[in-house]
Amino acid sequence: MSYYISPNFLDKVAVHVTKNFLNLPGVRVPLILGIHGRKGEGKTFQTELVFRRMGFEPVMISGGELESPDAGDPSRLIRLRYREAAEQIRVRGEMCAIFINDLDAGAGRFDTTTQYTVNTQMVNATLMNIADNPTNVQLPGSYDSTPLHRVPIIVTGNDFSTLYAPLIRDGRMEKFYWEPSRDDKIGIVGGIFESDKLSKTDIVALVDNFADQAIDFFSALRSRIYDEQIREFIHKVGIERVSKRLVNTLEAAPDFHNPNFSLAHLIEMGSLMVGQQKRIKEMRLVDEYNQSRLFNVKGTPNAPAAAPTQSQLNDPSSKYYKAYDEPSSEGGNGHAARLSSEVLEQVKQLLARGCKIGMEYADNRRFKTGSWQSCATINSAQEKDVVASLETCLAEHGGEYVRLIGIDPKVKRRVVETIIQRPEK
């Protein structure tokens, strides 16, 4: 099976690896290439295909190996693997590279609840040291004055803003945001379904029908098509005998014929998968389950969100200082001027339907990736309390996108998502 490699991706990785094996006088070449982008777009697989195309095998490190109960183990592992790669270059006489998968998952800090350990600090410091001194990488407790061969490092991740800022600065790390184009998606999906004899027209129609889905969606869709045959096999054998039939048996492995890969069937199964994705986004049960833990509410999770006190407004250390404006009485309605009449009307309608009101915000970067963050939950059903809380959220996030959320508590799903504030261009 021949897989598609994006020309843009191939060019970026190949240039970075080759540049690190060249002696360019007076040119400082970044040792690390950081490939980042949204989940499921094939960053790891595309990188492995480039390595295979260039004819060498990298030394792998997983983001999960960057933490240990013993302080110093992950940083020592990085140094050890780097020296192994340098030795491979010397002995085999061919290129090699260090490939660290999901660096942000192992060394990133996502929020205040993420534990920042000694190992996290040492991993960041070790990578920075190697990037600055790529030919002098020593193991703890020993010293070898022989210069090592320079080994390029390639890392992947979803959000590099969670990493230590000095590590990702220009000069140490070259950044590459991977977002496959439509042509890239058509080529990659065509490789996934190559053995299933789908025509180019069907591939294009499938990609266009699920244009917002990541690459891994189409791979999962192909796997999902086999569920019908597997279900039939389970019913034929009997669910009680499946274990004995498949594990430690002398019988031949079951044979599955090529299933129905028609475009209509693929779209039907894909739509079911999209429906499950939407259900996860709409339920958001973790907000309800963790409400008392997040907001220190004991036994009465429906306490109304109170407006800030006067002392909080006058206290410079308070988050409400110079950020909250008392509602004005323009027009005699008692509502703040920042909320438009359309938004106020929408709030009234949602409250009349018995819906809960929420707010989410995102900066420009998070808005593009759909990574919204929640403001404090509004548990009051009183219009004045809801409007006060909405005004507070708008004031605190004046330079960001803010959207209004309406949640139907009976079915526990969102019924309204409206952006009510956009940052000034």
Contact 335, 344 (CB under 8 A): yes
pLDDT of residue 113: 54
Strand partners, 350: none
Is pLDDT above 50 for 206?
A: yes
Number of alpha helices (DSSP H) and beta strands (DSSP E) in the chain: 17, 9
- What is the CB neighbour count within 10 angstroms for residue 313? 16
What DSSP state is assigned to residue 166? G
pLDDT of residue 358: 86
Which of 116-125, 333-342, 367-376 has the weakest average pLDDT? 333-342
- Rounded (10°) CA dihedral 41, 46, 48, 52: 160
Is pLDDT above 70 for 302?
A: no
Closest listed residue to residue 304, CA positions, set 383, 247, 422: 383
What DSSP state is assigned to residue 413? E
127 or 335, greater pLDDT: 127
Closest listed residue to residue 119, CA positions, set 131, 130, 109: 109
How many whole angstroms separate alpha carbon 320 and alpha carbon 209? Answer: 46
Strand partners, 359: 404
Collect all residues with Cβ–Cβ distance below 8 Å to 319 and sequence separation of at least 6.
396
pLDDT of residue 320: 46
The pLDDT tens digits of the residues spanning 208-239 come to 999 989 999 999 999 998 888 899 899 988 99
- How far lies 374's CA from each of 147, 234, 286, in Å? 51, 44, 12
The pLDDT tens digits of the residues spanning 137-146 come to 998 888 888 8
117 pLDDT tier (thresholds 50, 70, 90): confident
Which of 10-24, 292-306, 327-341 has the weakest average pLDDT? 292-306
What DSSP state is assigned to residue 330? G
What is the SS3 assignment for 74? helix
pLDDT of residue 101: 93
Sheet holding 59-62, edge to edge: 59-62, 98-101, 153-157, 32-36, 173-177
